[in-house]
Amino acid sequence: DAGITQSPRYKITETGRQVTLMCHQTWSHSYMFWYRQDLGHGLRLIYYSAAADITDKGEVPDGYVVSRSKTENFPLTLESATRSQTSVYFCASKQNTGELFFGEGSRLTVL
Amino acid sequence: SQQGEEDPQALSIQEGENATMNCSYKTSINNLQWYRQNSGRGLVHLILIRSNEREKHSGRLRVTLDTSKKSSSLLITASRAADTASYFCATMNQGGKLIFGQGTELSVKP
């Protein structure tokens, strides 16, 4: 199916563990984004990517790593999860006219 | 700090009334966008207005942009209970980065 999919949708992990959130889009959009959404903070940009092998920091990149070896995939890795990274994570891709299409989100709980 | 700030944070109206949400931002933009989010779901794009545009319409939505005041407004006319959601403005800079505000929670009572 065409669109943007995130996996897993729900994840519980422990402090210090590595977690990878996956994002896949079928449109071949150049730009992709990762946001986190927390009560009282709205959506905050973690990292974004303008094309394969090109990534850049957003507003809150510390503690996260991204890669973009293929245009369609943009995984987000928490190398050593902390409780403050408990959040809902949204992936998005941008079409040429400028608007973003969002996935349904990945809800991460770090115990 | 976030680029867009929305006002009010929460808005409760009756069906049939109009809802107005405001957004202010700090730096120069390429375009400004409005999104909607239903509870527990991803964001859905509503409307995009470019920096050289002043007003845009889409169905019951009307967006204005005043670049001299660095502000935008979203008007939903004749609101319906199904319009209940959170609404976010977001600003895009020349480099393609899109930064969101904290959103307005709209509640439309039947």
- Domain segments of chain A: what residues? 4-110
The answer to whether A107 contacts chain B (CB < 8 Å) is no
Structure-token pair, residue A71: 């245009």
Any B CB within 8 A of A9 CB: no
Measure the CA angle with vertex B97, ends A72 and A105; round to 5°. Answer: 55
Question: Is A96's Cβ below 8 Å from some Cβ in B?
Answer: no
Q: How far is CA A18 from CA A1, A6, A11, A13, A14, in A?
A: 29, 17, 12, 9, 9
CB contact under 8 A, A99 and B33: yes
B77, HSE (Cβ side, Cα atoms, 13 Å) = 7
- Nearest CB to A104 within list B42, B92, B99: B42
The greatest distance separating any two alpha carbons of chain B, rounded to the nearest whole angstrom, comes to: 43
As a whole number, the mean pLDDT across chain B is: 93
* A31 and B CB contact within 8 Å: yes
Contacts of B44 in chain A (CB under 8 A): 102
Distances (CA, A) of A106 to A69, B99, B105: 21, 19, 21
- The model's confidence at residue B1, banded by pLDDT at 50, 70 and 90, is very low
Domain CATH number, residue B82:
2.60.40.10
Interface size A-B, in CB pairs within 8 Å, comes to: 59
Q: What is the pLDDT of residues B59-109, one digit of tens each?
A: 999 999 999 999 999 999 999 999 999 999 999 988 888 899 999 999 999
Q: Which residues does B13 contact at the CB level (< 8 Å), separation at least 6? A: B19, B79, B106, B107, B108, B109
Average pLDDT by consecutive 10-residue portion of chain A (111 residues)?
A: 89 98 95 93 92 94 97 97 97 92 96 96
Q: Which residues of chain B have a CB within 8 Å of the CB of A31? A: 96
pLDDT computed for residue A1 by the predictor: 57
Q: A58 and B42 in contact by Cβ < 8 A?
A: no
Whole-angstrom Cα distance, residue A85 to residue A23?
A: 18
Q: Does the beta carbon of B87 lie under 8 angstroms from any beta carbon of chain A?
A: no
| Superfamily of segment(s) A4-110 | Immunoglobulins (2.60.40.10)
pLDDT of residue B93: 87
For the residues B49-61, what does the mean pLDDT come to?
96
- Full residue range of the structural domain in which residue B71 is found: 5-109
Q: What is the pLDDT of residue A14?
A: 97
**Which of A27, A35, A46, A99 has the highest number of chain B CBs within 10 A, making it the mutation to test binding with B?**
A99
Q: pLDDT value at position B13? A: 96
Nearest CA in chain A to B86: A42
Name the domain count of chain B.
1
Give the pLDDT of residue A2. 63
